[in-house]
A and B are shown apart, each in its own frame.
Chain A
């Protein structure tokens, strides 16, 4: 059993180091330690689950060891910036003040195609409009355009727009969300009035109904009833 315990620690550290060396592009949205935990736990749980000749503890001890290690590492990454940099890496500036840093791309094994793909996904088609592009430690690319390329905000246009707040779902596929209705301070009489205003007779005929903090209603009927 002590062998299982020590092997788990060695494998965990080894795989984290491997994931770190693979670079950010392989990580996706998880931090390296989280990715390793996800990779290992599923496999560790599956082995004693399938093979009844192996004691359950052979799976439980490594899983508990991994969870403890992850908890310890997460606290250490919170406490120490240096440790966080070692475990998770640092963000890499791919475009710095409009200038593409090819060496940084090479270091992260980040190809031009991947950069253009990420920019397109962010709605940017022209690289010259990008002031900063930062490859984050979770593998995501943050894109900051030049000020001249940014769309103006309501504040910059000196417009005073109402704040609608978070819309709440009141009817979800024909089902009334009574708790949401109560939390918004509304009642069934108000709901009936809204349904009548939208020429709907029953809650079951509504596909989606939301209301925001200014009581603005969005109502979509079910297609089948039309």
Chain B
């Protein structure tokens, strides 16, 4: 009977760990997309420097969790988002709002999808 409890405890631990990861990733990506959306509003109001600083901060937050993200997510997805950040920062420097807005929207969507793919929904399970 002890073996059964050990197995059930481990299963419960795995479920809790994976749910915690989903919850933590959701909060993290919400923070990032929020920052990027605010940066876009600032750029629209011609406050490019503040927009760039906000995007840099978001990239810094992303880089701070690099190991965690690489261990738990597909590397192709994390690499794509990193490249997206770099593109958005370059476009912020150019001052081209149209191109920046398109790249920023793409990055926000990619980050959103990253979290959405980990959410516990029937769509994702099947």
Contacts and interface: CB of A to CB of B under 8 A. Distances in A.
Interface in B1-31: 1, 3-4, 6-8, 10-11, 14-15, 17-19, 21-22
Q: Name A's interface SS.
A: helix
Interface stretch (A65-73, A103-111, A120-128, A179-187): A65-73
Interface stretch (B38-46, B91-99, B117-125): B117-125
Contacts of A218: none
Given A65-B14, A68-B11, A3 B120 contact: yes
A190 interface: no
Residue of B18, B70, B120 ringed by the most chain A CB atoms within 10 A: B18
Interface residues of B, number: 27
A71 B10 CA distance: 11
Interface stretch (B48-56, B58-66, B72-80): B72-80
Given A52-B75, A57-B71, A75-B1, A5 B14 contact: yes
Question: For A7, A64, A75, which residue has the most chain B Cβ atoms within 10 angstroms?
Answer: A75
Contacts, number: 71
Interface of B is mostly: helix
28 contacts: A1-B18, A1-B21, A1-B22, A1-B118, A2-B15, A2-B22, A2-B118, A3-B120, A3-B125, A4-B18, A6-B125, A53-B74, A54-B75, A55-B71, A55-B73, A55-B75, A56-B71, A57-B72, A58-B74, A64-B14, A65-B14, A68-B14, A71-B4, A72-B4, A72-B11, A75-B3, A79-B1, A79-B4
Contacts of B118: 1-3
Nearest to A8: B14
B74 A54 contact: yes
A65 B14 CA distance: 8
Nearest to A9: B11
Contact of A2 (B7, B18, B74, B75): B18
Interface in A60-84: 61, 64-65, 68-69, 71-72, 74-76, 79
Contacts of B72: 1, 55, 57
A7 B121 CA distance: 12
A7 B74 contact: no
